[in-house]
Amino acid sequence: MTPTPATANRHALSVARDALCVMLLVYLLCIAGILTRPLGLLAAFWPANAVLLGLFVRRPRLVGPGGWLGATLGYLAADLLTGTPLWPALWLTATNLASVGVSYLLFRPLSYDDRRLRRPQAVMLVFWICAAGAAAAALVGTLLAPALAGLDFATSTLSWFTGELTNNLVVLPVLLTAPTLSLRAILPRQPLLRLQQIVRSASGPALTLAASVPATLLIGGPGALAFPVPALLWCALSFSPFTTAVLTALVNAWQMIAVTLDLLPNLAVEGSPQAIISMRLGVTLLALGPITAASISATRRETLRILDHQLNHDSLTGALTRGALLKQGAAALTQLMPHQPVAVLMLDIDHFKRINDHYGHATGDHTLAVFAATIAANLRANDLFGRLGGEEFAIIMPDTTPARAQEVAERLRAQTEQAHVQVAEGRAPLQLTVSIGVAHQMPGHTLPQALALADKLLYEAKAAGRNRVRSNAAPTADHNQMALAQM
């Protein structure tokens, strides 16, 4: 179908916008890299290629005419505006594009988890991809490097290769592991508590890492480049892969600049290209350790999280199991102040046995899943919702007044009435109802006692005709409290 003029205009505008954004980003990154370029040598730190590659991997929409055009213009503008003649600028641009292009083609077959470094094996895959991109840059760049720096063929080839490989492995993991920004991530639910947790868990590895960097400058020597490794490994076991990648990138970028500019004492580089190449390669290989350890640690944490969820949640409804509800409920209640109210709700689907007998267990299971989803959607994040067995569920609501609990229970009852369960084709959907008992925990009484009272109130609701809410805050509360005292 032939695109309309409006569609063509929107496409052209999108291409132009992509080209402009990529061009500005590449230009600024190239300028930053050129500022670290010693006379006669390659830049000590060149982040432009790695950032462009990471952007293309994370945002494939940019991999089009606009993205490649913008990158080309950004590379050219940075070199031309800093005094590089046109022909060398064109060749340097081709070198940069060759590195990004080859690496991106090799990234395409990788799975989403591998592109995000969510498997330990992915770190080595990214290493070989970066090595292939660095080799492509070396093949193109060595034809120009002798004219620029007066280096022999072997030295210029190794210089291009190690420089490109190091820059990619330092910067790229940061972009691949970067989380998607969200308001919840920026503004946590309990910012002060979250800040305390971060300070408590981060202080040890962060202080150790901060101490290792000055030690590198004070002691010097070839071994100084490995001083931050133990601290980075500690960070890898304590932080997320993204945080570890950021810290590793900062340390390694500083090391590359220090090596190239001969800032470390007793290193004996003295502008030797061979020594700089060796040091760069050493920095590159050291960077792999913390990132791999962070990936392994993150995989382990995710596996434990999945196992914990499977252990503590009902597989059919997603609600907490009975044991998990009692354990987490007791823990939540111990954290409350004595004057803070707690509500315990007991819920039972009306006529569930009839649904099972008449429509079969598959429909019964679906009914439980629909009911649980309806209830969970109407609760707060700190409310605990669990399945006690069969069609009976319970909710523990910390810091909830009797009036608020009654209001929530009525809303849950009304929402359940609106939930429909589809059965066989051509038959009317099932309409659910629920009976709810609401107990308010009183000083000196345990969670099991409150659950027992809520269960008693639940059966009072069923005896009154079902699809009802009964609470010990109602006019009959005195009778219910006496019953609880006798338990």
Catalytic positions are 391
User: Residue 356 CB: number of other CB atoms within 10 A?
Assistant: 18
Q: Which runs of consecutive H residues, i.e. helices, occur in 82-144?
A: 86-107, 112-115, 120-141
- Give dist(CA 35, CA 486) in Å, integer: 81
Which residues pair with residue 385 across a beta bridge?
A: 395
β-strand pairing of 420-421 with 392-398: unpaired
Amino acid at 289: G
- Give dist(CA 473, CA 343) in Å, integer: 10
Separation of CA 133 from chain center: 27
Half-sphere exposure of 285 (CA within 13 A, CB side): 6
- Give dist(CA 434, CA 351) in Å, integer: 9
CA–CA distance from 140 to each of 73, 76, 91, 145, 453 (Å)? Answer: 19, 16, 8, 9, 79
- Give dist(CA 44, CA 271) in Å, integer: 12
Neighbour-count burial for 440-460, b at 16+ CB within 10 Å, e otherwise:
bbeeebebebbbbbbbbbbeb
Q: Does residue 360 come out as left (phi exceeding 0), alpha (psi in the -120 to 50 range) or beta?
A: left
